[in-house]
């Protein structure tokens, strides 16, 4: 995985590819193809991906069982496994072209298939994998195009889609950053429902339409790689069929993100108003009270007996210091309610600040661990992550009686995961939530709502005696192009 420091695409041959080159995948018992293929992937992948691969292996065994085991089942399950493993790798890393080729060669060898057949099978398994739909659409598109390049089907590839004002290039890989006029013209022709390829004679350009309700909605265009044009066309037809559902999902996400932005903006506006109310109400009251105390001090002082003056002075000083403390605290709260402060600086920085302030104030040991890059989140997601952690920490301070709390933020390519664990007394979740709701306490319920609003999942694991684990996951999404 990128965060594990072994990014695919770094140019250096991966262990995956090296293992293949050194012939460690020599044929064994036919009925163990699946296990050998797994050993090959396992050895070549960073540790971070191992749990996902183990999961894929379990599912592949189920697939094999579905065939009533035997050789055919082992064959099919192996191909299924390799396709799924490639997608898991792509979800975690930048999948290198050499590794796609390595995987195809491993499938060919394990299943005793001609390489072209193994390539096609691997492609259809990987490119149509449902797991791709969990990735941000742009990443899923990138994985598909990378597969086409990695398998040498295309030498370069670009995806175009129809817009209200014409068309736009969503992604281009392997070729110049600015696609040539010829490529553009071909994309335009495909989107109009007529490919120009027949007019181009011996052109190496290949294309396919991604349709929606029977109409061309997007176009894949690229120069043919080291395969025959009709082989490239077969791959492109498959790719176009799979890209249809990815682009469909992108459209749905775009609609719901519009709604999500409105909802988040509305709840942020409420918080901002609360911040202003706090500033105009309680903070001003505290300032007035501090002024009164100072006045009282001056008025009372002359009447205090000389022997008691020092004590009286100390008491007044304590009182003033206390008021200064309340004032600072209220201002901090008012400030933290401002959305601007959440969006103006890197998320890592504001989370660290929030956690440090919490540890100082609450006297509870707090550790924050961030993996991956949380800054590529949408503003709605950043706000949600911040507010949810803020609320979870408030609960730890108010209810948990904990001595330490651990906050883990993990920004993956497909999702951002947050876990907050405290070693406090724990609670009966269902009952506490029902009781809190009756009292108009909506911390946890509100947190869950915010997360679900962004299409995420939210979970609390706790029982009397503790510990308490609160975790949520938000799917990543960035608009195409
Ligand atoms: N970390 C925790 N440890 C122990 N109990 C907790 C923890 N978090 C929440 N609770 C329990 O769950 C209840 C509901 O929490 P919730 O945040 O919804 O409301 P609240 O904190 O009581 O009020 P509000 O958040 O609205 O100020 C709490 O009253 C508390 O009993
Ligand atoms: Mg609360």
- Which residue's alpha carbon is nearest to atom 31 within ligand 1? 432
Q: Are strands 415-422 and 404-411 parallel, antiparallel or unpaired?
A: antiparallel
Structural domain harbouring 376: 345-481
Distance 466 CA to ligand 1 centre (A): 14
Structure tokens at 22: 């050194």
Give residue 335's pLDDT band: very low, low, confident or very high (50, 70, 90). Answer: confident
Domain edge (last residue) among 98, 127, 156: 127
| Nearest by Cα to 166 from 194, 182, 187 | 187
Distance 442 CA to ligand 1 centre (A): 8
Average pLDDT over residues 345-360: 91
Choice among 190-194, 373-377, 457-461, 463-467 with the minimum mean pLDDT: 373-377
The pLDDT of residue 196: 58
Choice among 80-89, 148-157, 189-198 with the minimum mean pLDDT: 189-198
Distance 441 CA to ligand 2 centre (A): 7
The pLDDT of residue 9: 35
Q: How far apart are CA 29 and CA 116, in angstroms?
A: 23
Is the per-residue pLDDT at 15 higher than 60?
A: no
Q: Which atom of ligand 1 is nearest to the CA of 437?
A: 18
- Which residue's alpha carbon is nearest to atom 30 within ligand 1? 399
Q: Which helix (H) or strand (E) holds 299?
A: helix 284-300
- Which residue's alpha carbon is nearest to atom 16 within ligand 1? 443
Give residue 163's pLDDT band: very low, low, confident or very high (50, 70, 90). Answer: confident
Confirm whether 227 is domain-assigned: no
Give per-residue burial for 111-133: e unless 16+ CB within 10 Å, then b: bebeeeebbbbbbbbbbbbebbe
- Which residue's alpha carbon is nearest to atom 13 within ligand 1? 432
pLDDT single digits (tens) 105-148: 888 888 888 999 999 999 999 988 888 888 878 888 888 898 99
Please say whether the beta carbons of 81 and 35 come within 8 A. Answer: no
Q: Is 260 exposed, middle or buried (0-12, 13-18, 19+ CB in 10 A)?
A: buried
Confirm whether 144 is domain-assigned: no
Q: Which residues, other chains included, contact 178 with Cβ-Cβ below 8 Å and sequence gap of 6+?
A: none
Q: Which atom of ligand 1 is nearest to the CA of 460?
A: 8
Q: Model's pTM, two decimal places?
A: 0.57
- What residues are in contact with ligand 1 under a 6 Å CB criterion? 395-396, 398-400, 422, 424-427, 432, 436, 441-445, 468
Among the bound ligands, name the one nearest to the CA of residue 460. Answer: 1
Domain edge (last residue) among 110, 127, 144: 127
Q: State the total domains in the chain.
A: 2
Give residue 67's pLDDT band: very low, low, confident or very high (50, 70, 90). Answer: confident
The pLDDT of residue 27: 44
Q: How far apart are CA 123 and CA 238, in angstroms?
A: 9
The pLDDT of residue 14: 44
Average pLDDT over residues 294-299: 89
Distance 224 CA to ligand 2 centre (A): 59
Confirm whether 212 is domain-assigned: no
Distance 444 CA to ligand 1 centre (A): 7
Q: How far apart are CA 372 and CA 413, in angstroms?
A: 9
Q: Is 398 exposed, middle or buried (0-12, 13-18, 19+ CB in 10 A)?
A: exposed
Q: Which residues, other chains included, contact 101 with Cβ-Cβ below 8 Å and sequence gap of 6+?
A: 17, 150, 151, 152
Pocket test residue of 389, 441, 448, 463 for ligand 1, highest count of atoms within 8 A of CB: 441
To 10 degrees, what angle do helices 70-92 and 50-66 make? 150
Distance 354 CA to ligand 1 centre (A): 19
Q: Which CATH number does the domain housing residue 354 bear?
A: 3.30.565.10
Average pLDDT over residues 270-275: 77
DSSP helix/strand/coil, 404: strand
C-alpha dihedral over 412, 413, 415, 420, to 10 degrees?
A: 10
Average pLDDT over residues 263-271: 74
Pocket test residue of 394, 432, 440, 445 for ligand 1, highest count of atoms within 8 A of CB: 432
- Which residue's alpha carbon is nearest to atom 25 within ligand 1? 443
- Which residue's alpha carbon is nearest to atom 4 within ligand 1? 400
Distance 436 CA to ligand 1 centre (A): 7
| Nearest by Cα to 128 from 99, 86, 169 | 86
Please say whether the beta carbons of 57 and 77 come within 8 A. Answer: no
Distance 401 CA to ligand 2 centre (A): 14
Please say whether the beta carbons of 192 and 216 come within 8 A. Answer: yes
Alpha helices in 337-442 (DSSP H): 339-343, 347-362, 379-395, 429-438
Confirm whether 77 is domain-assigned: yes
Q: How far apart are CA 103 and CA 41, in angstroms?
A: 8
Is the per-residue pLDDT at 440 higher than 80?
A: no
pLDDT single digits (tens) 183-216: 999 999 998 887 656 455 456 889 999 887 778 8
Confirm whether 271 is domain-assigned: no
Q: What is the DSSP string of 21-71?
A: HTTTT----GGGHHHHHHHHHHHHS-GGGHHHHHHHHHHHHHHHHHTTSHH
Q: What is the DSSP string of 445-479?
A: HHHHHHHHHTT-EEEEE--TT--EEEEEEEE----
Q: Are strands 365-371 and 404-411 parallel, antiparallel or unpaired?
A: parallel
| Nearest by Cα to 141 from 216, 234, 210 | 210
Choice among 198-202, 450-454, 468-472 with the minimum mean pLDDT: 198-202
Q: How far apart are CA 170 and CA 247, in angstroms?
A: 11
Choice among 58-62, 255-259, 361-365 with the minimum mean pLDDT: 255-259
Give residue 481's pLDDT band: very low, low, confident or very high (50, 70, 90). Answer: low
Confirm whether 297 is domain-assigned: no
- Which residue's alpha carbon is nearest to atom 3 within ligand 1? 400
Among the bound ligands, name the one nearest to the CA of residue 445. Answer: 1
Is the per-residue pLDDT at 6 higher than 50?
A: no
The pLDDT of residue 162: 86
- Which residue's alpha carbon is nearest to atom 17 within ligand 1? 443
Confirm whether 18 is domain-assigned: yes
Confirm whether 337 is domain-assigned: no
Is the per-residue pLDDT at 69 higher than 70?
A: no
Pocket test residue of 443, 446, 461 for ligand 1, highest count of atoms within 8 A of CB: 443
Q: How many Cα atoms are found within 13 Å in the side-chain-facing hemisphere of 146?
A: 22
Distance 391 CA to ligand 2 centre (A): 6
Is the per-residue pLDDT at 234 higher than 60?
A: yes
Q: Which residues, other chains included, contact 431 with Cβ-Cβ below 8 Å and sequence gap of 6+?
A: none
Give residue 20's pLDDT band: very low, low, confident or very high (50, 70, 90). Answer: very low
Domain edge (last residue) among 99, 127, 155: 127
Distance 451 CA to ligand 2 centre (A): 16
Q: Which atom of ligand 1 is nearest to the CA of 424?
A: 3
Structure tokens at 269: 């506006």
Distance 261 CA to ligand 2 centre (A): 24
């Amino acid at each position: 995985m990128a965060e594990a420091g072994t990014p695919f695409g770094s140019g250096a041959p991966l262990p995956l590819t090296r293992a293949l080159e050194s012939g460690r995948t020599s044929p064994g018992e036919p009925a163990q193809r699946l296990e050998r293929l797994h050993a090959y992937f396992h050895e070549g992948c960073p540790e971070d991906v191992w749990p996902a691969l183990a999961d894929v292996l379990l599912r592949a065994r189920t697939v094999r069982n579905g065939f009533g085991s035997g050789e055919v089942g082992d064959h099919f399950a192996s191909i299924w496994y390799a396709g799924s493993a490639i997608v898991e790798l792509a979800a975690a890393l930048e999948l290198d072209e050499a590794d796609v080729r390595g995987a195809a060669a491993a499938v060919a060898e394990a299943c005793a298939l001609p390489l072209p057949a193994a390539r096609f099978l691997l492609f259809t398994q990987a490119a149509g994998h449902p797991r791709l739909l969990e990735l941000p659409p742009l990443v899923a598109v990138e994985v598909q195009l990378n597969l086409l390049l990695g398998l040498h089907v295309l030498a370069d590839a670009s995806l175009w889609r129809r817009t209200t004002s014409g068309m736009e290039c969503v992604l281009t890989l392997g070729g110049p950053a600015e696609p040539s006029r010829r490529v553009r013209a071909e994309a335009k022709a495909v989107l109009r429902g007529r490919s120009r390829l027949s007019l181009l004679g011996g052109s190496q350009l290949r294309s396919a339409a991604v349709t929606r309700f029977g109409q061309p909605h997007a176009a894949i265009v690229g120069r043919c790689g080291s395969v025959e044009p009709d082989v490239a066309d077969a791959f492109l037809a498959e790719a176009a069929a799979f890209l249809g559902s990815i682009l469909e999902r992108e459209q749905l996400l775009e609609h719901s993100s519009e709604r999500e932005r409105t909802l988040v903006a509305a709840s942020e506006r409420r918080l901002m108003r609360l911040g202003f109310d706090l500033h105009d109400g309680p903070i001003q009251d505290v300032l007035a009270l501090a002024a009164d105390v100072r006045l009282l001090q001056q008025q009372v002082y002359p009447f205090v007996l000389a022997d008691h003056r020092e004590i009286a002075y100390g008491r007044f000083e304590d009182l003033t210091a206390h008021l200064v403390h309340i004032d600072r605290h209220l201002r901090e709260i008012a400030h933290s309610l401002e959305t601007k402060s959440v969006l103006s600086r890197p998320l890592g920085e504001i989370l660290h600040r929030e956690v440090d302030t919490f540890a100082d104030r609450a006297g509870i040991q707090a550790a924050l661990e961030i993996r991956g890059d949380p800054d590529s989140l949408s503003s709605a997601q950043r706000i949600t992550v911040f507010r949810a952690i803020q609320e979870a920490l408030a609960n730890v301070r108010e209810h948990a009686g904990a001595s330490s709390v651990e906050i883990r933020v993990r920004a993956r390519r497909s999702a951002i995961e947050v876990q907050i664990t405290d070693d406090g007394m724990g609670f009966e979740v269902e009952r506490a939530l029902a009781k809190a709701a009756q009292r108009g306490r909506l911390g946890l319920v509100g947190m869950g709502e915010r997360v679900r609003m962004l299409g995420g999942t939210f979970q609390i694991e706790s029982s009397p005696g503790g510990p308490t684990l609160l975790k949520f996951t938000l799917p990543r999404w960035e608009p195409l192009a």
